[in-house]
Amino acid sequence: MIFRVFEHEEELASFAADHLIETIRSNPNGLMCLATGSTPLLTYQLFVSRLREQRVDYSNFHFIGLDEWVGIPDSNPGGCHYFLQEHVLKPLVVKNKNYHLFNGLAADLRTECLTMDEQIRKWNGIDMMVVGIGMNGHIGFNEPHSNPDQHAYLADLTETTRQVGQKYFVEKTELSKGLTLGLKHFFESRQVLMLANGSHKADIIRRTISDPISMEIPATQIRRHQNAYLLLDTEAAAQLNDDHH
Ligand code: F6R
Protein backbone atom coordinates (compact mmCIF):
# COMPACT_ATOMS: atom_id res chain seq x y z
CA MET A 1 0.00 0.00 0.00
CA ILE A 2 1.17 3.49 -0.81
CA PHE A 3 -0.17 6.36 1.20
CA ARG A 4 -0.12 10.01 0.29
CA VAL A 5 -1.09 13.08 2.22
CA PHE A 6 -2.36 16.17 0.40
CA GLU A 7 -2.49 19.63 1.89
CA HIS A 8 -6.15 20.16 1.00
CA GLU A 9 -9.11 18.01 -0.01
CA GLU A 10 -9.07 19.67 -3.46
CA GLU A 11 -5.60 18.31 -4.23
CA LEU A 12 -6.54 14.87 -3.01
CA ALA A 13 -9.65 14.90 -5.22
CA SER A 14 -7.66 16.15 -8.20
CA PHE A 15 -5.10 13.35 -7.87
CA ALA A 16 -7.82 10.73 -7.41
CA ALA A 17 -9.85 12.02 -10.38
CA ASP A 18 -6.81 11.86 -12.67
CA HIS A 19 -6.11 8.35 -11.47
CA LEU A 20 -9.66 7.25 -12.33
CA ILE A 21 -9.35 8.77 -15.79
CA GLU A 22 -6.07 6.93 -16.31
CA THR A 23 -7.82 3.66 -15.43
CA ILE A 24 -10.30 4.24 -18.27
CA ARG A 25 -7.58 5.27 -20.72
CA SER A 26 -5.56 2.15 -20.00
CA ASN A 27 -8.53 -0.21 -20.24
CA PRO A 28 -11.48 1.33 -22.12
CA ASN A 29 -13.49 -1.89 -21.63
CA GLY A 30 -12.74 -2.10 -17.93
CA LEU A 31 -14.79 -1.96 -14.75
CA MET A 32 -14.77 0.56 -11.92
CA CYS A 33 -16.52 0.13 -8.58
CA LEU A 34 -17.65 3.31 -6.88
CA ALA A 35 -18.39 4.07 -3.22
CA THR A 36 -20.82 6.82 -2.29
CA GLY A 37 -20.85 9.20 0.67
CA SER A 38 -19.37 12.58 1.51
CA THR A 39 -15.74 11.59 0.91
CA PRO A 40 -15.63 10.94 -2.87
CA LEU A 41 -18.03 13.70 -3.91
CA LEU A 42 -15.43 16.23 -5.04
CA THR A 43 -13.37 13.49 -6.70
CA TYR A 44 -16.40 12.45 -8.75
CA GLN A 45 -17.17 16.04 -9.74
CA LEU A 46 -13.64 16.51 -11.07
CA PHE A 47 -13.63 13.05 -12.64
CA VAL A 48 -16.84 13.78 -14.56
CA SER A 49 -15.83 17.24 -15.74
CA ARG A 50 -12.28 16.23 -16.78
CA LEU A 51 -13.43 13.07 -18.51
CA ARG A 52 -15.70 15.19 -20.68
CA GLU A 53 -13.19 18.03 -21.21
CA GLN A 54 -10.49 15.58 -22.23
CA ARG A 55 -12.89 13.74 -24.52
CA VAL A 56 -11.90 10.37 -23.13
CA ASP A 57 -13.90 7.59 -24.77
CA TYR A 58 -15.74 5.78 -21.98
CA SER A 59 -18.55 4.41 -24.14
CA ASN A 60 -17.48 0.80 -23.45
CA PHE A 61 -16.38 1.27 -19.87
CA HIS A 62 -18.43 -0.24 -17.00
CA PHE A 63 -19.43 0.95 -13.53
CA ILE A 64 -20.84 -0.79 -10.49
CA GLY A 65 -21.89 0.51 -7.08
CA LEU A 66 -20.08 -0.73 -3.98
CA ASP A 67 -23.12 -1.06 -1.75
CA GLU A 68 -26.71 -0.13 -0.95
CA TRP A 69 -28.96 0.22 2.08
CA VAL A 70 -31.62 -2.50 2.18
CA GLY A 71 -35.16 -1.10 2.00
CA ILE A 72 -34.17 2.18 0.35
CA PRO A 73 -35.71 2.82 -3.08
CA ASP A 74 -33.72 4.22 -6.03
CA SER A 75 -35.69 7.45 -5.73
CA ASN A 76 -34.51 8.23 -2.19
CA PRO A 77 -31.77 10.93 -2.31
CA GLY A 78 -30.09 9.32 0.71
CA GLY A 79 -29.50 6.01 -1.09
CA CYS A 80 -26.38 4.91 -2.93
CA HIS A 81 -28.26 4.33 -6.18
CA TYR A 82 -29.52 7.91 -6.25
CA PHE A 83 -26.08 9.28 -5.37
CA LEU A 84 -24.31 7.46 -8.20
CA GLN A 85 -27.01 8.37 -10.69
CA GLU A 86 -26.89 12.01 -9.69
CA HIS A 87 -23.13 12.50 -9.45
CA VAL A 88 -21.67 10.10 -12.00
CA LEU A 89 -24.01 8.11 -14.23
CA LYS A 90 -26.42 10.82 -15.36
CA PRO A 91 -23.79 13.54 -15.91
CA LEU A 92 -21.75 11.06 -17.98
CA VAL A 93 -24.89 9.67 -19.67
CA VAL A 94 -23.68 6.12 -19.03
CA LYS A 95 -25.85 3.64 -20.92
CA ASN A 96 -27.93 1.18 -18.88
CA LYS A 97 -26.01 -1.75 -20.31
CA ASN A 98 -22.76 -0.30 -18.95
CA TYR A 99 -23.58 -0.12 -15.25
CA HIS A 100 -25.04 -2.27 -12.52
CA LEU A 101 -26.20 -1.17 -9.07
CA PHE A 102 -27.65 -3.12 -6.15
CA ASN A 103 -31.41 -2.86 -5.77
CA GLY A 104 -32.12 -2.26 -2.09
CA LEU A 105 -35.74 -3.28 -2.60
CA ALA A 106 -35.02 -6.62 -4.30
CA ALA A 107 -37.42 -9.34 -3.18
CA ASP A 108 -34.61 -11.88 -3.09
CA LEU A 109 -31.51 -10.27 -1.62
CA ARG A 110 -29.39 -13.40 -1.95
CA THR A 111 -30.06 -13.49 -5.70
CA GLU A 112 -29.29 -9.77 -5.85
CA CYS A 113 -25.80 -10.53 -4.51
CA LEU A 114 -25.24 -13.45 -6.89
CA THR A 115 -26.33 -11.26 -9.80
CA MET A 116 -23.74 -8.65 -8.82
CA ASP A 117 -21.01 -11.32 -8.60
CA GLU A 118 -22.03 -12.65 -12.00
CA GLN A 119 -21.95 -9.17 -13.54
CA ILE A 120 -18.43 -8.58 -12.19
CA ARG A 121 -17.27 -11.88 -13.70
CA LYS A 122 -18.89 -10.99 -17.02
CA TRP A 123 -17.01 -7.69 -17.09
CA ASN A 124 -13.70 -9.48 -16.35
CA GLY A 125 -13.26 -8.39 -12.76
CA ILE A 126 -12.76 -4.98 -11.18
CA ASP A 127 -9.95 -2.75 -12.48
CA MET A 128 -10.43 0.00 -9.95
CA MET A 129 -12.31 0.15 -6.67
CA VAL A 130 -12.90 3.50 -4.96
CA VAL A 131 -13.68 3.17 -1.28
CA GLY A 132 -14.14 5.45 1.70
CA ILE A 133 -13.65 4.52 5.31
CA GLY A 134 -16.37 4.38 7.94
CA MET A 135 -16.03 5.85 11.41
CA ASN A 136 -15.72 2.24 12.65
CA GLY A 137 -13.24 1.33 9.91
CA HIS A 138 -15.72 -0.37 7.60
CA ILE A 139 -15.08 -0.74 3.87
CA GLY A 140 -18.33 -0.66 1.95
CA PHE A 141 -20.58 -2.41 4.45
CA ASN A 142 -17.85 -4.81 5.53
CA GLU A 143 -18.24 -4.12 9.20
CA PRO A 144 -15.87 -4.90 12.08
CA HIS A 145 -15.66 -8.67 12.71
CA SER A 146 -17.38 -9.59 9.45
CA ASN A 147 -16.06 -12.45 7.34
CA PRO A 148 -13.43 -11.15 4.86
CA ASP A 149 -13.74 -14.26 2.69
CA GLN A 150 -16.93 -13.30 0.87
CA HIS A 151 -18.02 -11.87 -2.44
CA ALA A 152 -21.24 -9.79 -2.47
CA TYR A 153 -23.46 -10.44 0.56
CA LEU A 154 -26.20 -9.17 2.80
CA ALA A 155 -24.57 -7.41 5.74
CA ASP A 156 -25.90 -6.68 9.21
CA LEU A 157 -25.06 -3.08 9.97
CA THR A 158 -23.47 -2.08 13.26
CA GLU A 159 -24.95 0.54 15.54
CA THR A 160 -22.29 3.05 14.43
CA THR A 161 -23.16 2.61 10.75
CA ARG A 162 -26.91 2.84 11.45
CA GLN A 163 -26.42 6.09 13.33
CA VAL A 164 -23.78 7.72 11.12
CA GLY A 165 -25.84 6.73 8.06
CA GLN A 166 -28.67 9.02 9.18
CA LYS A 167 -26.63 11.97 7.85
CA TYR A 168 -27.56 11.01 4.28
CA PHE A 169 -31.32 11.04 4.90
CA VAL A 170 -33.71 13.92 5.43
CA GLU A 171 -35.91 11.91 7.81
CA LYS A 172 -34.97 9.37 10.45
CA THR A 173 -34.60 6.13 8.50
CA GLU A 174 -34.48 2.49 9.55
CA LEU A 175 -31.06 1.21 8.46
CA SER A 176 -30.33 -2.28 9.64
CA LYS A 177 -28.98 -4.16 6.64
CA GLY A 178 -26.92 -3.43 3.57
CA LEU A 179 -25.96 -5.11 0.31
CA THR A 180 -22.24 -4.89 -0.24
CA LEU A 181 -19.35 -6.18 -2.25
CA GLY A 182 -17.27 -8.33 0.05
CA LEU A 183 -13.58 -8.06 0.81
CA LYS A 184 -12.92 -10.88 -1.65
CA HIS A 185 -13.86 -8.39 -4.36
CA PHE A 186 -11.64 -5.82 -2.67
CA PHE A 187 -8.60 -8.12 -2.76
CA GLU A 188 -9.36 -9.26 -6.31
CA SER A 189 -9.70 -5.69 -7.56
CA ARG A 190 -6.64 -4.84 -9.66
CA GLN A 191 -6.31 -1.47 -7.99
CA VAL A 192 -7.87 0.23 -4.96
CA LEU A 193 -8.11 3.89 -3.99
CA MET A 194 -9.13 4.48 -0.39
CA LEU A 195 -9.94 8.11 0.32
CA ALA A 196 -10.33 9.95 3.63
CA ASN A 197 -10.66 13.60 4.41
CA GLY A 198 -11.58 15.73 7.40
CA SER A 199 -10.56 15.73 11.06
CA HIS A 200 -13.39 13.35 12.04
CA LYS A 201 -11.46 10.59 10.21
CA ALA A 202 -8.10 11.25 11.95
CA ASP A 203 -8.53 8.65 14.70
CA ILE A 204 -9.68 5.82 12.44
CA ILE A 205 -6.91 6.63 9.96
CA ARG A 206 -4.27 6.36 12.68
CA ARG A 207 -5.72 2.97 13.66
CA THR A 208 -5.92 1.87 10.00
CA ILE A 209 -2.21 2.49 9.65
CA SER A 210 -0.87 1.43 13.03
CA ASP A 211 -3.23 -1.21 14.52
CA PRO A 212 -2.61 -4.88 13.73
CA ILE A 213 -4.22 -5.98 10.46
CA SER A 214 -7.46 -7.63 11.53
CA MET A 215 -11.19 -7.50 11.02
CA GLU A 216 -11.55 -5.42 14.16
CA ILE A 217 -10.78 -2.50 11.82
CA PRO A 218 -11.59 -3.80 8.31
CA ALA A 219 -9.76 -0.85 6.73
CA THR A 220 -6.45 -2.24 8.05
CA GLN A 221 -6.86 -4.90 5.33
CA ILE A 222 -5.79 -2.31 2.76
CA ARG A 223 -2.22 -2.91 3.96
CA ARG A 224 -2.43 -6.43 2.51
CA HIS A 225 -3.56 -5.27 -0.94
CA GLN A 226 -0.82 -5.45 -3.59
CA ASN A 227 -1.87 -2.33 -5.48
CA ALA A 228 -3.63 0.13 -3.21
CA TYR A 229 -3.40 3.83 -2.50
CA LEU A 230 -4.56 5.45 0.71
CA LEU A 231 -5.13 9.14 -0.06
CA LEU A 232 -5.56 11.56 2.83
CA ASP A 233 -5.85 15.26 3.41
CA THR A 234 -3.84 16.82 6.24
CA GLU A 235 -6.86 16.79 8.56
CA ALA A 236 -7.41 13.06 8.18
CA ALA A 237 -3.66 12.51 8.58
CA ALA A 238 -3.41 14.72 11.68
CA GLN A 239 -2.76 11.88 14.14
CA LEU A 240 -0.01 10.26 12.08
CA ASN A 241 3.55 10.90 13.17
CA ASP A 242 6.90 10.65 11.39
CA ASP A 243 7.12 6.90 11.99
CA HIS A 244 4.01 6.43 9.89
CA HIS A 245 5.38 8.56 7.08
C1 F6R B 1 -20.53 4.16 0.86
C2 F6R B 1 -19.65 3.25 1.60
C3 F6R B 1 -19.24 3.56 3.00
C4 F6R B 1 -18.57 4.95 3.09
C5 F6R B 1 -18.10 5.25 4.50
C6 F6R B 1 -17.61 6.68 4.63
O7 F6R B 1 -20.80 3.65 -0.43
O8 F6R B 1 -19.29 2.23 1.09
O9 F6R B 1 -18.37 2.56 3.45
O10 F6R B 1 -17.49 4.99 2.21
O11 F6R B 1 -19.11 5.03 5.43
O12 F6R B 1 -18.67 7.55 4.40
P13 F6R B 1 -18.42 9.12 4.20
O14 F6R B 1 -17.64 9.29 2.96
O15 F6R B 1 -19.81 9.72 4.08
O16 F6R B 1 -17.68 9.58 5.41
User: What are the tens digits of pLDDT across the range 133-183?
Assistant: 999 999 999 999 999 999 999 999 999 999 999 999 999 999 999 999 999
Atom from ligand 1 closest to the CA of residue 200: 16
- Please name the helix (run of DSSP H) or strand (run of DSSP E) that holds residue 97, with its range, or none: none
Choice among 9, 112, 143, 233 that is catalytic: 143
With a CB cutoff of 8 Å and minimum separation 6, the contacts of 103 are 68, 74, 81, 112
* Beta-bridge mates of residue 142: 139
Question: Are the beta carbons of 204 and 169 closer than 8 angstroms?
Answer: no
Q: Percent of the chain at pLDDT above 90?
A: 98
- Average pLDDT of the residues of the chain: 97
With a CB cutoff of 8 Å and minimum separation 6, the contacts of 60 are 28, 29, 98
244 is catalytic: no
Atom from ligand 1 closest to the CA of residue 164: 11
Question: Where does residue 192 fall: left (phi above 0), alpha (psi -120 to 50 degrees), or beta otherwise?
Answer: beta
Choice among 100, 138, 151, 225 that is catalytic: 138
Label residue 241 by pLDDT band (50, 70, 90).
confident
Indicate whether 218 pLDDT > 80: yes
pTM for the complete prediction? Answer: 0.97
Indicate whether 245 pLDDT > 80: no
143 is catalytic: yes
Confirm or reject: Cβ of 137 under 6 Å from ligand 1.
Answer: no
- Residue ranges in 27-105 assigned as alpha helix (H): 41-53, 80-84, 90-92
Atom from ligand 1 closest to the CA of residue 168: 15
Residue of 85, 138, 159, 233 best suited for mutating to test ligand 1, as the one with most atoms within 8 Å of CB = 138
- 51-102 pLDDT, tens digit per residue, is 999 999 999 999 999 999 999 999 999 999 999 999 999 999 999 999 999 9
Task: Kindly state the average pLDDT of the residues 30-39.
Answer: 98
Question: Using CA positions, which residue lies closest to atom 3 of ligand 1?
Answer: 140
Question: Are the beta carbons of 37 and 7 closer than 8 angstroms?
Answer: no
* Beta-bridge mates of residue 100: 64
Choice among 27, 136, 203, 235 that is catalytic: 136
Task: Kindly state the average pLDDT of the residues 122-140.
Answer: 98
Confirm or reject: Cβ of 39 under 6 Å from ligand 1.
Answer: yes
Task: Kindly state the average pLDDT of the residues 19-29.
Answer: 98
The whole-angstrom distance between residue 12's C-alpha and the CA centroid of its chain comes to 15
Choice among 9, 62, 67, 151 that is catalytic: 67
Question: Using CA positions, which residue lies closest to atom 4 of ligand 1?
Answer: 132
138 is catalytic: yes
- Residue ranges in 146-226 assigned as alpha helix (H): 159-164, 183-188, 202-210
